[in-house]
Amino acid sequence: MTALAKVQSSLRLDHRLKPWEMIAWVLAFISPIVLPSHSLLISEITIIALFATSLDLILGYTGIVSLGHAAFFGVGAYAAALFAKLVMPDPLVGLCVAVLVATALGLLCTLTILRGSDLTRLMVTLGVGLIMLELGNKLDWLTGGADGLQGVVMAPVLGHFEFDLNGKTAAWYALSITAMLFFVMRRLIHSPFGTSLKFMRDNRLRTSAIGISVTKRLAVIYTVAAGAAGAAGGLLAQTTGFASLDLFGFDRSADLMLMLVIGGTGWLWGGITGAIVFKLMQSFIANITPQYWTFWIGLFLVVLVLVGRERIMHPKTWFAKTKRSAI
């Protein structure tokens, strides 16, 4: 093989869809048939996975730590719910509206996150989340305030698939939208644009020294991530028929960070893995000990960080020397 051919095939390997990725998606899509009684949990996990993946776009790929990502999730949810209630109940149109509203808010917020150091940025993201929470609370004539926005009724998806009580349609709807957005994000991160995000994460000084405007690209990806979070929020409101203030909650943003810590940042499957592990642990442990499940999640995280994710996943390394922490 010539050098050029080697170069081309190495680069192609980086972005080629791996067989296990396709298997994972096939399994996800047949899961509502195999586990019909868990459809609601499946659609919730799917939505949270999309939400976590959207946070990974900024946390894992550019290194911006955000504790206010739930603001976009909540805004998306309220936009979708209000649109269904006041304008029209079509889910796909409503979802587009949710994405647009969250994207607009994200664009607005880039003005704040592009300034300051990591710590001030963290506080600003937290502040945006709190502002949205308080707005949702005060504008109770529109949002229902602390009672939440109830009585959201959705029309059938594409005019055919009625949302049923046991949540099968909801699960497939959430899975389809998430899969679609996942493949878009996947393309994005393997493109030159996506690689330049990794450049910024690894070394900002050098990134501008090769002629890339760091602030412009940060603004773009922050806005895109906000839009994707809005889609997740919209999906949740549409599939549950409900939007409430806790969507904006700080603990939701914090949970999301935990999921990325569990699944790993900087690869799109990290958000998905993290969401699945986190949600399954939550529902499994909560069944045994409803009050103290956070204790077990905490213990799990401590072990994960001390031992390192890579070592847990690869038993072969259990007896080798530690090289590098996985997180």
Rg of the chain taking only CA atoms, in angstroms: 20
Q: How far is CA 150 from each of CA 46, 229, 230, rounded to the nearest angstrom?
A: 22, 21, 19
Q: Are 61 and 221 in contact (CB under 8 A)?
A: yes
Q: Which is nearer to other proteins, 205 or 306 (CB)?
A: 205
Instruction: Determine, following the binding rule CB under 8 A, whether residue 11 of this chain makes contact with other proteins.
Output: yes
Instruction: Determine, following the binding rule CB under 8 A, whether residue 320 of this chain makes contact with other proteins.
Output: no
| Least Å from the CB of residue 198 to other proteins | 6
d(CA 106, CA 227): 7
Site string for other proteins, 113-132 (x = CB under 8 A): --------------------
Residue among 182, 199, 248, 278 that touches other proteins (CB under 8 A): 199
Q: Which is nearer to other proteins, 38 or 198 (CB)?
A: 198
Q: Which is nearer to other proteins, 149 or 200 (CB)?
A: 200
Instruction: Determine, following the binding rule CB under 8 A, whether residue 138 of this chain makes contact with other proteins.
Output: no
d(CA 210, CA 206): 6
Give me 180's structure tokens.
């679609």
Q: Are 274 and 52 in contact (CB under 8 A)?
A: yes
Contacts of 183 (CB under 8 A, 6+ apart): none
d(CA 136, CA 138): 6
Give me 269's structure tokens.
């499957």
| Least Å from the CB of residue 223 to other proteins | 13
Instruction: Determine, following the binding rule CB under 8 A, whether residue 194 of this chain makes contact with other proteins.
Output: yes
Residue among 126, 135, 155, 190 that touches other proteins (CB under 8 A): 190
- Residues of this chain that interact with other proteins (CB under 8 A) are 3-4, 6-8, 10-12, 14-15, 187-188, 190-196, 198-199, 201-203, 205-206, 208-214, 217, 266
